């Protein structure tokens, strides 16, 4: 019924009991999960889960927090790793000016390398952006001018203006459990406006557990709670939202079909 478009099954909080986490997800109606990598040392382990589990696929990428320590991960490296049959996305990559754990120029350089890999492979670029709307959009738009590539903004928390601009570029938007938080009224307003054919749902587990699971490690099963909240927010049946977001995922991540 649901697809978790972004989770970290190999992270602490999930990996210790991964089989039980997967079983709970399936019991909650989660039919598919995309296991995301954030550093090169994770790639083989993330792919191994996808090789073992029919309903899990993998991505390869470098998170902006990790950009400084991965200067050697360039487009060719990503493209080569993405030839694996269980790899269906590039990322997560992007810009994070909130924590600034990597030099901003290096973040931008790494981001562009990921965009180029997405363009070459035509695998979706999974974009992380925080407090970096202007630079993120500038790079996305400029790179789109060099040749089209599929992409989504994951764990969307940005402005309505940013949403409108990336949607105009052809991107998808993924909503996490943050939308259920009491203080997330601005995000809730944006979530109501996302076109039904561009909307995805995710957990970003083990982070950002939605209501009513706040304070617990998040897991893919909880995408059902986010979906129910989002359906009510958008005044549509949960079945409609589940069907649309799953269809959107499979259209965007066509290699998964």
User: Does 257 score more than 90 pLDDT?
Assistant: no
Instruction: Please check whether residues 136 and 92 belong to one and the same domain.
Output: yes
Q: At a CB cut-off of 8 Å and minimum separation 6, what does 254 contact?
A: none
Tens-digit pLDDT profile for residues 102-116: 999 999 999 999 999
Looking at 94, 129, 149, which one is the last position of a domain?
Answer: 149
Structural contact between residues 58 and 9, judged by C-beta atoms closer than 8 angstroms: no
Provide mean pLDDT across the span 127-131: 98
Closest CA to 253 of 6, 44, 77: 6
Structural contact between residues 174 and 202, judged by C-beta atoms closer than 8 angstroms: yes
Instruction: Please check whether residues 136 and 214 belong to one and the same domain.
Output: no
**pLDDT for the residue numbered 183:** 96
How many structural domains comprise the chain?
Answer: 2
Tokens of 98: 């909130």
Tokens of 133: 């709307």
The answer as to whether 36 is a domain residue is no
Looking at 149, 169, 198, which one is the last position of a domain?
Answer: 149
CA 34 – CA 204 distance, rounded (Å):
10
Tokens of 17: 């009991």
DSSP, residue by residue, 35-52: E---SGGGHHHHHHHHHH
pTM score: 0.97
User: Does 72 score more than 80 pLDDT?
Assistant: yes
The answer as to whether 11 is a domain residue is no
Q: Where are the beta strands (DSSP E) in 18-140?
A: 30-35, 56-60, 87-96, 125-130
Average pLDDT, the chain: 97
Looking at 149, 166, 197, which one is the last position of a domain?
Answer: 149
Instruction: Please check whether residues 137 and 101 belong to one and the same domain.
Output: yes
CATH of the domain at 132: 3.20.20.140
**pLDDT for the residue numbered 221:** 98
Tens-digit pLDDT profile for residues 3-38: 999 999 999 999 999 999 999 999 999 999 999 999
């Amino acid at each position: 019924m649901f697809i978790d478009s972004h989770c970290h099954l190999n992270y602490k909080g999930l990996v210790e009991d991964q089989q039980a986490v997967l079983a709970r997800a399936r019991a909650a109606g989660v039919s598919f999960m995309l296991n995301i990598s954030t550093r090169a040392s994770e790639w083989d382990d993330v792919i191994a889960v996808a090789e073992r589990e029919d309903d899990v696929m993998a991505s390869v990428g470098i998170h902006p927090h990790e950009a400084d320590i991965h200067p050697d991960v360039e487009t060719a490296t990503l493209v080569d790793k993405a030839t694996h049959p269980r790899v269906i996305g590039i990322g997560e990559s992007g810009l994070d000016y909130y924590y600034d754990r990597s030099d901003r120029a290096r973040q931008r350089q790494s981001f562009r390398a990921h965009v180029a890999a997405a363009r070459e492979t035509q695998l979706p670029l999974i974009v992380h952006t925080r407090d970096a709307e202007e630079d993120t959009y500038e790079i996305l738009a400029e790179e789109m001018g060099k040749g089209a590539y599929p992409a989504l903004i994951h764990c969307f928390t940005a402005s309505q203006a940013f949403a409108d601009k990336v949607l105009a570029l052809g991107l998808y938007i993924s909503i996490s459990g943050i939308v259920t938080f009491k203080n997330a009224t601005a995000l809730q307003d944006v979530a109501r406006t996302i076109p039904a054919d561009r909307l995805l749902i995710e957990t970003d587990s083990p982070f950002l557990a939605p209501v009513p699971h706040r304070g617990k490690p998040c897991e893919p099963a909880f995408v059902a709670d986010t979906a129910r909240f989002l359906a009510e927010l958008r005044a549509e049946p949960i079945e409609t939202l589940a069907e649309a977001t799953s269809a959107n995922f499979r259209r965007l991540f066509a290699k998964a079909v």
